[in-house]
Structure 1
Amino acid sequence: MFDELSIVSPKRNKRLQTGWEGFFPYYAGFPELFANEILKSAGLAEGAKILDPWNGSGTTTYAADRLGFSSVGLDLNPVMVIVARARLLAPSEADHLRPLAATILSQARAAQGTLDPEDRLLAWLAPETARFVRAIEKNIRRSLVGSLTKSADGIHLDRISGTAATLYVALFGMCRRLVAPYRSSNPTWLRCPKPQEQKVAVSMASIASWFAANVRGMTRALVALQETADGGESFSKSCTSILRANTTSVSLDPESVDFVLTSPPYCTRIDYTAATRVELAVLAPLLATDAKSLGQQMIGSTQVPGHTIAVSEEWGETCGKFLEALRSHHSKASSGYYYRTHLDYFDKMSCSLARVSKALKPGGSAVLVVQDSYYKNLHNDLPVMMAEMAANHGLTLGRRDDFHLRSMSDVHPGRKTYDRPKGANESVLCFSKH
């Protein structure tokens, strides 16, 4: 049933991230081309519903929207909820972005107000710089975030308007430029300055110029999309929901989804919140959690869980053997810290797959992009583990396509200590539910 699927490389290519896609350069996930080819060739009926439980920057929901399918995108990181909602902004809304941005900048210059001494932007920015950035954010919030988002029972980022989300993304881009000195070669890591380092100090004029330039660029990209739509492709033809949710506990309607397209978090101890620390700082007035608390909830958390987790047979034979080899490995902390973080990963992933499987209709399909890795010299064959785990939750593997690529772990100095292959395999796993 998967023979007709058109599967191209799921590896993101920065050279292809141009136009509207270029404003959402967040780590992990797959490119628009991959999502488009999969969904167009899947033989889905009109009205089909697509689910991406780890939606990230919204590639799946955006591609589904352009192709006329309803979709649901979930993500635990509030930054990604904002980004994915911005990505869905209709091209017809392009005309009012620049006037709105000009008004917001004018208001920010006129009344910056005082800066909370605990403002999280101060982790990287000098006080005057942080004060003006916060003034811009505050005016976006005052002008465009209303009672539907800020309701009496808390903040609902899933209700924020596409326009507000887009201006937040423009602000995110400007802040990422400000904190560039604190980014490492690892694209998932933004560090805080050391005590002896000076924090970033930039003039109001430069900040305003960078923010305005981002808005102009987004406007041009949306206009280009509108021209594409005028050529025969339409937008927002179906219902798309972007929700902040934890896949281990989310309540999804049983047998409500026709197709799943997603890339689960890799088992490489990546702190996905670290890549969005400055964005989380920008959003702090709208959030009830901080980066540390959020990171603890993430699949693949680098923070050791405080509760005891037992190995489950539902995780599969390969996973069990890997965990036993990891626990008995001679290297420091293998039987303690690293063993517990891996237990946390597989426990959360199994819970998530169970919920995704229950949401999938009988006869529905799920396509997962999964990458293998190494712990020291131990092969963490996540594609095989994921296939076994999925089988224990009612999903049958029908096709697997592998793509070899370079891995960030190859540049780690400790890699030379162990004899293991270079690079990693990114596997596209195609499952069906019977």
Structure 2
Amino acid sequence: MATALSIVSPKRNKRLQTGWEGFFPYYAGFPELFVREILSSAELPSDAVVLDPWNGSGTTTYAASQLGLRSIGVDLNPVMIIVARARLLGPSEADHLRPLAATILSHARSAPPAHSPDDPLLGWFQPAAAILIRGIEQNIRRSLVGNMTKSPDGIHLDRISGTAATLYVALFAACRRLAAPFRSSNPTWVRLPKNLEDRVGPSAFSIAQHFADNVRGMAKALAEKHEVDLASGHEAHTATSSIVLSDTATMALEAGSVDFVLTSPPYCTRIDYTAATRIELAVLAPLLKVTARSLGKQMIGSIQVPSAEIEVASDWGDTCSRFLKALKAHPSKASGGYYYKTHLDYFDKISRSIKRVSQALKPSGTAVFVVQDSYYKEIHNDLPAIIAEISEYHGLSSTRMEQFHLRSMSDINPGRKSYQRPAGATESVLCFTK
């Protein structure tokens, strides 16, 4: 099946992120067009199940749903669960958003919550601003997070309604806009202020306006998208999508239950995916069972040193073994210690995750991974080759590879000029069958 797939460039195009899609600008491995082309050309049966074990902002589950395919999206970051569920909101809900937002803002103003010195929002916002933002969040929670989401062991974010998720995304966007002074050259990173007096203190009016404008814009974009679909004769079929909060390395999926896997594993480029959503995690703090730091340690590509000792495993393949050997022997500071250990953690989690993916895939099913290479100093980390070897070990047979050269965020690091290596990166689309 994989040889007949239509594969376009997996590079994201910001110019295409307009309308409804413009409200989900989170770091992702590929654009919606890439997913649509592949899934449409795969000619899957109507009862097929599509899996994205690193679902992120929900591009795969959204596109699959629009094509009438059942899908499962897995992610460990609670923020991405909220974003992916909001993205699936049906057009019929557009009319409900603005009245709900108005009610939530009214309650937040009339009965603000008590000041909590432990509120993580205080990392960026002065107390008065943090209280109002928390008031909006609290009223979203009280109004829209019901008994299906709550349980004796806490909040199950993967059961939250699309409407609640959409209002949370509107609040996320407002907080990111208000905390704009703390953005860095890395688009995935929002830093913390060095001093408490540097925290921003937007007015109550400004906070409410940003939130209301986002909700208004989302409602308008959702309604317009529906009208465009109707006019073009491409009305979305929509199908069931399950968004699951889980660690991919330990996820519990029924063996042989998935027809098609389309995903982009976290790249081995030291991107802290938890830090990239630290403001959103602060907004969600009352709903979370884990701290941002402990979540960061669980993530694939964590920049924290693992607690347990990890040994190089045979299932990682020869390419990985050679890369790790060169990394460990590199003369630069911490190469043989900190960096070696964090890379061991990365490959251990990746291998265990691919094993789970292979087990979930049906015999003769297809898996497509989008993988980007990188460099440690001048040492080439050929992650596409490593992922291919790990996948082969776990029962997947390589059938096709397409490569695309693109700019890399690592190029903005001035330290890279100290080492001889080519600019940019190669993004590979790897196709496998079971």
The two structures have a TM-score, normalised by structure 2, of 0.98
Partner amino acid for 1:123? Answer: G
Q: Does 1:380 align with 2:381?
A: yes
Number of the residue aligned with 1:120: 120
- Return the alpha-carbon distance in structure 1 between the equivalents of residues 388 and 327 of structure 2: 20
Number of the residue aligned with 1:29: 29
Report the RMSD for the aligned CA atoms in angstroms: 1.0
User: Residue 196 of structure 1: CA displacement?
Assistant: 6.3
Number of the residue aligned with 1:233: 234
- Return the alpha-carbon distance in structure 1 between the equivalents of residues 162 and 229 of structure 2: 18
Number of the residue aligned with 1:301: 302
Deviates more, 1:176-185 or 1:77-86: 176-185
Partner amino acid for 1:4? Answer: A
- Return the alpha-carbon distance in structure 2 between the equivalents of residues 242 and 204 of structure 1: 34
- Return the alpha-carbon distance in structure 1 between the equivalents of residues 154 and 127 of structure 2: 29
Cα pair distance change 1:236/1:158, threshold 3 Å: farther
The two structures have a TM-score, normalised by structure 1, of 0.98
- Structure 1 segment 2-151 matched on structure 2, within 5 A: 2-151=2-151
Equivalent residue of 2:3, what SS? coil
Partner amino acid for 2:198? Answer: Q
Equivalent residue of 2:54, what SS? coil
- Return the alpha-carbon distance in structure 1 between the equivalents of residues 388 and 217 of structure 2: 42
Task: Say whether the 8 Å CA contact 1:109–1:132 is kept in structure 2.
Answer: yes
Task: Say whether the 8 Å CA contact 1:49–1:257 is kept in structure 2.
Answer: yes
Deviates more, 1:222-231 or 1:177-186: 222-231
Equivalent residue of 2:302, what SS? coil
Task: Say whether the 8 Å CA contact 1:66–1:233 is kept in structure 2.
Answer: no
- Return the alpha-carbon distance in structure 2 between the equivalents of residues 5 and 102 of structure 1: 46
- Return the alpha-carbon distance in structure 1 between the equivalents of residues 275 and 427 of structure 2: 23
Deviates more, 1:184-193 or 1:116-125: 184-193
Percent sequence identity over aligned pairs? 67
Deviates more, 1:8-17 or 1:421-430: 8-17
- Return the alpha-carbon distance in structure 2 between the equivalents of residues 245 and 425 of structure 1: 29
Number of the residue aligned with 2:201: 201
- Return the alpha-carbon distance in structure 2 between the equivalents of residues 360 and 2 of structure 1: 14
Task: Say whether the 8 Å CA contact 1:400–1:427 is kept in structure 2.
Answer: yes
Task: Say whether the 8 Å CA contact 2:398–2:431 is kept in structure 1.
Answer: yes
Deviates more, 1:194-203 or 1:371-380: 194-203
Q: Does 1:257 align with 2:277?
A: no
Partner amino acid for 1:316? Answer: G
- Return the alpha-carbon distance in structure 1 between the equivalents of residues 23 and 420 of structure 2: 39
**Regions of 4+ moved over 3 Å:** 231-237
User: Residue 113 of structure 1: CA displacement?
Assistant: 2.7
User: Residue 237 of structure 1: CA displacement?
Assistant: 3.6
- Return the alpha-carbon distance in structure 2 between the equivalents of residues 30 and 152 of structure 1: 37
- Return the alpha-carbon distance in structure 2 between the equivalents of residues 197 and 376 of structure 1: 37
- Structure 1 segment 147-166 matched on structure 2, within 5 A: 147-166=147-166
Task: Say whether the 8 Å CA contact 1:90–1:236 is kept in structure 2.
Answer: no
Deviates more, 1:400-409 or 1:72-81: 400-409
Q: Does 1:336 align with 2:371?
A: no
- Return the alpha-carbon distance in structure 1 between the equivalents of residues 335 and 416 of structure 2: 16
Partner amino acid for 2:161? Answer: S
Deviates more, 1:293-302 or 1:42-51: 42-51
User: Residue 236 of structure 1: CA displacement?
Assistant: 6.0
User: Residue 233 of structure 1: CA displacement?
Assistant: 3.4
Task: Say whether the 8 Å CA contact 2:66–2:236 is kept in structure 1.
Answer: yes
Equivalent residue of 2:223, what SS? helix
User: Residue 46 of structure 1: CA displacement?
Assistant: 1.2
Number of the residue aligned with 2:413: 412
Number of the residue aligned with 1:394: 395
**Structure 2: tracts of 5 or more residues without a match:** none
Cα pair distance change 1:196/1:251, threshold 3 Å: closer
- Return the alpha-carbon distance in structure 2 between the equivalents of residues 12 and 230 of structure 1: 26
User: Residue 27 of structure 1: CA displacement?
Assistant: 1.1
Equivalent residue of 1:3, what SS? helix
- Return the alpha-carbon distance in structure 2 between the equivalents of residues 393 and 187 of structure 1: 35
- Return the alpha-carbon distance in structure 1 between the equivalents of residues 104 and 227 of structure 2: 28
Cα pair distance change 1:407/1:237, threshold 3 Å: closer
- Return the alpha-carbon distance in structure 1 between the equivalents of residues 371 and 82 of structure 2: 25
User: Residue 13 of structure 1: CA displacement?
Assistant: 1.4
User: Residue 413 of structure 1: CA displacement?
Assistant: 1.5
Partner amino acid for 2:104? Answer: I
Number of the residue aligned with 1:216: 216
- Structure 1 segment 267-278 matched on structure 2, within 5 A: 267-278=268-279
Figure out how many residues of one structure are paired with residues of the other and give that number. Answer: 433
